[in-house]
Structure 1
Amino acid sequence: MSSKIIILVLGAFLVAVALLGSIKRKSGKKLLSNKFSVIFGIIGVLMMIFGSYSSDLVNYNTQMEQVSIGAKLKISGPVNAVKTVYPIDKDSVDCRILTMGVYPESHNKDIWVVIRPTDDRYYPQSDHTNTSYKRDGEWQVVTRFGGDKGEAYDLIIYEADSTASSFFSATIAKWKEVDNYPGLQLEEMPPGAREVERLVIYTSKNCRGVF
Structure 2
Amino acid sequence: MSTKIIILIIGVLFIIIALITSKKQSSNKLGIPLGILGVLMMIYGSYSSDLVNYNTQIEQVSTGNKLILNGPVNAVKVISPIDKDSVDCRILTMGVYPESNKNDIWVLIRPTDDRYYPQSDHTNTSYKRDGEWQVVTRFGGDLGEAYDLIIYEADAKSSSFFSETIEKWKEADDYPGLKLEELPSGATEVDRIKIYTRKNCRGVF
Provide TM-score, normalisation by structure 2: 0.77
User: Could you tell me how far apart the structure 2 residues matched to 1:58 and 1:135 are?
Assistant: 27
Match of 1:66 in 2: 60
2:101 aligned with 1:82: no
The separation in 2 between residues aligned to 1:139 and 1:57, in whole angstroms, is 24
The answer as to whether partners of 2:158 and 2:187 remain within 8 angstroms in 1 is: yes
The 1-side partners of 2:128 and 2:51 are apart by 21
1:10-159 to 2 correspondences below 5 Å: 54=47, 56-159=50-153
Amino acid at match of 1:71: N
Superposed CA deviations along residues 133-167 of structure 1, whole A, max 9, x for unmatched, are 11111100110111111110000000000010011
**Cα RMSD (Å):** 2.5
1-side partners of 2:7 and 2:112: how far apart?
Answer: 39
Match of 1:196 among 180, 185, 190: 190
Counterpart amino acid of residue 210 in structure 1? V
- In the alignment, residue 150 of structure 1 is paired with which amino acid? G
Query: Does residue 209 of structure 1 match 2:203?
Result: yes
Shift of 1:62: 2.2
Distance 1:181 1:56 in 2: 15
How much has 1:70 moved relative to structure 2?
A: 2.5
Secondary structure of the residue that 1:174 maps to in structure 2? helix
Please give the secondary structure, in 2, of the residue aligned with 1:114: strand
Give per-residue Cα distances to partners, 1:90-144, cap 9 Å, x unaligned.
0000011010001111110000000000111111111111100111111001101
Distance 1:174 1:56 in 2: 14
**CA–CA distance in structure 2, aligned partners of residues 110 and 91 of structure 1:** 25
Query: Aligned AA for 1:208?
Result: R
SS in 1 for 2:69: coil
SS at match of 2:134: strand
Q: Secondary structure at the match of 1:149?
A: coil
In structure 1, list runs of 5 or more residues that go unmatched. 11-49
| Correspondences of 1:151-170 after superposition (within 5 Å) | 151-170=145-164
Q: Partners of 2:183 and 2:157 in 1: how far apart?
A: 12
How far apart are the structure 2 equivalents of 1:173 and 1:119? 21
The one of 165, 172, 176 aligned to 2:170:
176
Give the AA of the match of 1:209: G
Count of matched residue pairs: 175
Report the identity percentage: 76
CA offsets, 1:173-202, max 9 Å, x none? Answer: 111111111111110010000000010000
Structure 1 residue 59 displacement after superposition: 2.6
- Flag as ranges the 4+ runs of structure 1 deviating above 3 A: 1-7
Q: Flag the 1:56–1:179 CA change in 2: closer, same or farther, 3 A.
A: closer
